[in-house]
Every structure is written in structure tokens, then in C-alpha cells.
Amino acid sequence: MLEAQGLRLPPARPAHRDDVLRVVRGLGALQIDTIHVVARSPYLALFSRLGAYSPTWLDELLAEGRIFEYWAHAACFLPMEDYPLHRRFMLDGRRSYYRPAWYEANRQAADDVLEHIRTHGAVRSADFEGKKNPGGWWNWKLEKNALEYWFSAGVVMVARREKFQRVYDLRERLLPEWHDDQTPTLEEACRALVERTVLALGLARRTWVADYFRLPGKEVAAAIRWLLAEGRLLEVPVEGWEEPALIHPSRLEQALAAAEGQLPATHTTLLSPFDSLIWDRKRTRELFGFDFSLECYLPPARRTYGYFVLPVLHRGALVGRADAKAHRREGVFEIKGFFLEEGIQPGEELAAAVALALQHCAIWHATPQVCLGRCQPETFRPMLADALAVYKT
């Protein structure tokens, strides 16, 4: 899985612009989130795989139409060649915020927003002066709800982002050559996305498959049966698992090499909480023994680790968590807390690898001064502080 997800080895060379597209295609979906105490999730997930790179490259790929935004696992950047597969879910009204009842209750306002785009061109939500609702969809104003409704329905798309704000335009302007008779059936779309899921995961239990693109369970089960019968997927035994796992034929050689110990994991990096390696919390527990939840939506007094905690991947294991914040104006990358997992022994070799990962991430954020707060266990703090001091000098 680490090999398939691009997280087995550290980057072998400086990143190029095309590497960003390669990663998006390899993962099949790059989850979007707006929290930015450190780099926003899609940019951080790319850093975990590519090292230092220019975040503008992702923005440029979106504006050029080489990737697009839509609901998949959640809101995601997706390869443009997969648009037909996701179009099926648009047309069937199966994704978030496609709410016919809302449209019926707000038909005139929603139609007015669409007509505004048709007449005046691409818009941001901020271009409308409406007030936020006291409740409802994330307290969004009416025009924002309308934009999200039309976006989920596939009538508008995200043309680009400006300071991370979506800029919406009509789908036919952005994809003028697209015709809906090119859209596969639900059965065909699910088969293709199930195959992409197993390819992206490297090796998968059946129970892991539906979550990756949030596919309907009945169709996933049927797709797996068809793909196995056609030889598009294979079953392989895994020691300790009662049922065989699914693997894509193109991954079989890698899996055999891994089983022989020929694919050692050597990468140490910080992960976004929304990284595709760990976004399925159940899969993360089963595979890594790592129990992880996002605490930013909890009151401070109820948080165990912190607001936006980044799991630490070290040589194929999730060994700890870093409660990080980038103070961009001051040039400081603050580690409010660092927590080793129970059973992970603190040592100088681990401290050196973690310190280097923290320093690389800090430099990429343009906040090169790493400020280390508390550590658990406390005995790890002087080791980590000493290692950071070496890299600083």
C-alpha cells in the first residue's frame, strides 16, 4: 500500500510540475479541506509524497482543466480523464448537496444564480452580497447553497480557485465537447472506480473498497465479482487474514517483492489527516493499529492531542502525532505537542528522522524556525530538540 500510495520512499529528486498530476492520477482522488493552520490538505498530501514543490502547480492544473473538482471520497481534486465516471453520479443525483427538496423550496433564487453565471460569466460565492443563514448548510448564504446545488448536479464546475475560493462557471463552457451520451452506466462506472481503488490501495480487503470513492455497497460487491471473473482483479492470501485480499494484476510483482522483504519502507514524513492513506479510519486501525480522529471540531477541553494533528509516518509505521501550526508572518513552525504512540521506543535514530521531516516541512511552509513544545514521552523531547538543533545549523 505504501508503494501504491507513493509513501514508501522519500523523493529521489526535486519535484517537477508533472509530478503533481502523476500523484493525483495515481491516487485517483486528492481530498480537499479548507483548514490552513498548516498547508491545506491537498497541498500537504502532495508534499508528503513529493517533498518541496510549488503549490501553484496544483492550482494551475485545475485552471488548465487537467484535473477537476467534485465529490468523491469527499470534496476532491480528480483526474480529468475520470470525468465520465463521476458524471454518472452527477446525473443520478447521488452526491453531496444535491437536494431536490432544497431546490423546490428555493427555485427562483437558485435559477437566478445560474442565470447570473450564464449572463455575466464565472463567479465566486463572495461576489454575491447575500447574508449567511442562521442555520442550514454550514450557515452558508443562499447564493452559496445555490452554487453548491448546481455544482453537485454537474451544471456548474470549478473553473479555478482564487486564494482558495472556488470560481464557478457553466460546465458547457469548461467542457464544450462533452456530451452526456458518453456517460457510462452506474454499473460500468462502479466497475472502473473499484478497479482504480484497488490499484490505488495496492492491496485491499473487500470492506475497504466502497469507502475510497464512497460507492454504493451493492454495486461494489457486484463490480468485484465481475472484475474477478474477468481477471481485472485477483485474490491473494494474506497471513493473518481470514479472507483473501484483492489486488490489481499490475501490482502482483510488487506484492511478491514486498512479501520477500524487497520493498523496505524508508520514508519519514507528516501526513494530512485527510490523506488517502489514512482517511478511512477503520482501515487505518486494521492496517496500522493507529486509532485516529480529528479533534478540531471538539471544544479545546475535550481534545487529547490538539486542534489539527498530523500523523507521523516513519518507515512504514504510524509512530506518532504532531500538533503543528505554521506562523507564516513570524516564520515559525510551531510543534505545540509531539506524541509518540504507545509501544514506540524513543531513540536518537527515530528523533533524527522525525526532526528532518519536521524541518523539511517547516522550510516548505516558509516558516523555517521550528519551535518545539511538549512531548510525550518527556524523554523524547531532548532527543528531538538536539536533532532539530543539528539540522538548524
User: Which stretches of the chain drop beneath a pLDDT of 70?
Assistant: 96-97, 130-140, 393
Judging by DSSP bridges, how do beta strands 67-71 and 156-162 pair with one another?
unpaired
Supply the DSSP string of 31-93, one letter for each residue.
Answer: E-----SSS-HHHHHHHHHH-S--THHHHHHHHTTSEEEEESSSEEEEEGGGHHHHHHHHHTT
Question: What cell numbers appear for 149 in the block?
Answer: 446545488
pLDDT of amino acid 131 = 56
pTM (predicted TM-score):
0.95
Give me 179's grid cell. 456530451
Q: Which helix (H) or strand (E) holds 162?
A: strand 156-162
Residue 221, Cα to own-chain centre: how many angstroms?
24
Distance in angstroms (rounded) separating the CA atoms of residues 371 and 178: 51
State residue 306's pLDDT score.
93
Q: What is the pLDDT of residues 122-142, one digit of tens each?
A: 999 999 876 555 554 444 689
Report the pLDDT value the prediction gives residue 100, as an integer from 0 to 100.
Answer: 86
Predicted local confidence at residue 290, as pLDDT: 97
Concatenated DSSP letters for 324-380?
A: EEEETTTTEEEEEEEEEPTTPPP-HHHHHHHHHHHHHHHHHTT--EEEEEEEESTTH
Other CB atoms within 10 Å distance of the CB of residue 171: 21
